[in-house]
Structure 1
Amino acid sequence: MEPVKSYLGWNLDFTEPKGEPALCAPDSISWTVYKNPISLAIGGVAAVLLEFADARIRSGVWDHSVYPTDPLGRSRRTGLAAMVGIYGPESAARRVIKGVNNMHARVSGKTPAGEAYAATDVELLDWVSATAAYGFMMAYDRYVTPLSYGEKCQFYVESVPVVTLYGVKSPIRRPEDFAAMCQSLLPRFEPHQINRDFLEIIKSGKAARGVPKGLYVAIANAAVGLLPGEVRQRLELGAEFDLTLPQRLSLRLAAKLANTVPARNSPAVGAARRVGLPDNFAWKSPAAKARILADRGQAPVSAE
């Protein structure tokens, strides 16, 4: 497996060093959710929309990153950072997160309305973390396999060791926590042309050459559909972003297929190889995972 090249100056190879665990266990809900590229794409777009709803985050990203000139590259790097936190060896995850934190320490400024912001602001760190977890989990729940309330709580709890390394002080642990955080920030949310520009970039299909453009139109619309109703209203993303029935069916078909066929050279496959598990471990059922771990004399997460 080829290493993923140079993120913040490091070459990342999810297969090395042999035996080193990740921050999330192999039979975690996180390993199951993050393996699916379709739901990750939907959830990632939804997370960005939720972040950009707040002028402080929108200004910080727009003024201090390559997002205006290379939004797709920046999005891929953000996605890679998320993958390292779930599948990467713990030592690599800590290095990457430290690099992100160092970069954030240099980000501050004022919104067009004159409000000061800093990327190290705990309220902003908490919200960015919450939006990512919400987006990825809800996209999987809606387009791949429904998750029970307990599984949703477990997914959120599994992220705590990762997000606290980023400086998050109030990690969400239940769906109610996300709802409360969203409600507290709701008065700050506002529509902006940047949101629509971002959606148009996604719909253009430039994120992955060779993938039907129609699929990316569906992904953008599905992401808007994941937004809590009050947030979508405030962002003024109306009926023109509603999914059509063919779009909904095509997304579910693509997501279901991605959930059964391991993606060659994906972080989930590399991580499994690193810790001595079958390449398709993340794609197996909970019962099959438990049997494999029992054969190795390893207790499953749910038993801890």
Structure 2
Amino acid sequence: MVIKRIDSAAARLMGIDGANFREPAGEPAMLPPDSVSWRVFRNPVTMYIGGIAAVLLELGEPRVRHGVWDHSSFKRDPATRMRRTGLAAMITVYGARSAFEALTGRVNRMHARVQGETDDGRAYAANDPDLLLWVQATASWAFLEAYHRYGERLGAAERDRYYGEARPGAALYGVEAPPASAAAMQALLARMLPQLEPSPVLDELIAILRTADILPPPLRPFQRLGVRAAIDLLPPALRRQLGLADPRLRRRERVLLRLLAAGARRFELPSSPARQAATRIAGSGYGQDALATS
């Protein structure tokens, strides 16, 4: 009964309650089970921290900020928006190819309608290749860094492989040349740094993420800790550029986050998209070696 309740709460948090990753039977995902991405995306603790860090970086770019804040439900209903984003991330890695292709089609059609001007008169469009690149790359970076810090230390070759794995999926979103290595990602962050800026929207977002009804009441302390961990995940130069305060995580808080992430790795819940996807492709001959050891 306890496991069932935890499983239900975790599924709701990730936006996958009611989602079915077991169908169509035998259909592969965009990535094989032995990919680095399957390991990174299956940890809900690090995905939660990384997801917040990604949003902070995205909204630090003024054109992206206006596109998200002015044209989405994030401000009025952050919990639902985060769950939809979480579901999209899970489909990207674990969903059947047909489900992922349908998702990208819907997102691309929605992006085609999002356009406007920033407060200082700069035009923006959600399907701008530069903005698509920033959103895709920051999400990839943040999920990887959160997993690397709190879930499992990854070697240089694994990190590069992870970035390379994102390219086929990114192409369907219209991202032409996403970073293919950790070095390329660092170069993009350095290039974008001068374009990032502080904003009252970031302060409002952080306040919302700390207090909104996102996690169940017993987990609200982790919700606030997760926000601080996400800010701490950002390199100091990025935090300063965005005007974010030093979160000052205590050593015991870092240890707690690592223990929670380790527990999530060790005790995978029944509703886990990775577990469902493994069931879907079992018997298809696709990635059988990886499935045997996952």
For residue 168 of structure 1, report the CA deviation from its aligned partner: 0.3
In 2 relative to 1, CA 237–291 (structure 1 residues): closer, same or farther, beyond 3 Å? closer
Determine helix, strand or coil for the equivalent of 1:259. helix
- Deviation sequence 1:141-187 (CA, Å, 0-9, x none): 00011000000011111111111100001211111111111111111
Q: Conserved in 1, the CA contact under 8 Å of 2:68 and 2:74?
A: yes
- Deviation sequence 1:116-152 (CA, Å, 0-9, x none): 0000110000110100000000000000110000000
For residue 101 of structure 1, report the CA deviation from its aligned partner: 0.4
Q: Partner of 1:135 in structure 2? A: 142
Q: Partner of 1:250 in structure 2? A: 256
Is 2:99 the counterpart of 1:92? yes
Q: Conserved in 2, the CA contact under 8 Å of 1:218 and 1:248?
A: no
Determine helix, strand or coil for the equivalent of 2:266. coil
Q: Partner of 1:114 in structure 2? A: 121
Alignment of 1:61-76 (within 5 A): 61-76=68-83
Q: Partner of 1:302 in structure 2? A: none
Is 2:173 the counterpart of 1:166? yes
Is 2:71 the counterpart of 1:56? no
Distance in 2 separating the partners of 1:272 and 1:72: 28
Unaligned runs of 5+ in 1: 6-10, 283-287, 294-304
| 1:197 corresponds to which of 204, 207, 218 | 204
Off by >6 Å, runs of 4+ in structure 1: none
Distance in 2 separating the partners of 1:209 and 1:243: 23
Q: Partner of 2:267 in structure 1? A: 261
Alignment of 1:1-304 (within 5 A): 12-204=19-211, 206-239=213-246, 241-276=247-282, 290=290, 292=292
Q: Conserved in 2, the CA contact under 8 Å of 1:12 and 1:92?
A: no
Distance in 2 separating the partners of 1:102 and 1:41: 27
Distance in 2 separating the partners of 1:59 and 1:180: 25
Distance in 2 separating the partners of 1:225 and 1:57: 22
Bigger relative contact order, structure 1 or 2, given CA contacts below 8 A and separation 6+? 2
Q: Conserved in 2, the CA contact under 8 Å of 1:46 and 1:227?
A: yes
Q: Which of 225-234 and 53-62 deviates more?
A: 225-234
Specify the code of the residue in structure 2 equivalent to 1:292.
A
Q: Conserved in 1, the CA contact under 8 Å of 2:58 and 2:138?
A: yes
For residue 94 of structure 1, report the CA deviation from its aligned partner: 0.1
Percent identity among equivalent residues? 40
- Deviation sequence 1:195-250 (CA, Å, 0-9, x none): 122222222262111442221122111111111221110111122x2212232121
Q: Conserved in 2, the CA contact under 8 Å of 1:52 and 1:195?
A: yes
Determine helix, strand or coil for the equivalent of 2:124. strand
Specify the code of the residue in structure 2 equivalent to 1:262.
E
Distance in 1 separating the partners of 2:220 and 2:289: 36
Q: Conserved in 2, the CA contact under 8 Å of 1:111 and 1:117?
A: yes
In 2 relative to 1, CA 237–68 (structure 1 residues): closer, same or farther, beyond 3 Å? same
Distance in 2 separating the partners of 1:272 and 1:18: 10
Q: Partner of 1:296 in structure 2? A: none
- Deviation sequence 1:25-78 (CA, Å, 0-9, x none): 011111111010000000000000010110100000011111111112111111
Specify the code of the residue in structure 2 equivalent to 1:13.
N
In 2 relative to 1, CA 101–291 (structure 1 residues): closer, same or farther, beyond 3 Å? closer
Q: Conserved in 1, the CA contact under 8 Å of 2:78 and 2:212?
A: no
Unaligned runs of 5+ in 2: 1-6, 13-17
Q: Conserved in 2, the CA contact under 8 Å of 1:215 and 1:247?
A: no
Specify the code of the residue in structure 1 equivalent to 2:209.
I
Q: Conserved in 2, the CA contact under 8 Å of 1:84 and 1:93?
A: yes
In 2 relative to 1, CA 116–219 (structure 1 residues): closer, same or farther, beyond 3 Å? same
Q: CA RMSD in A?
A: 2.3
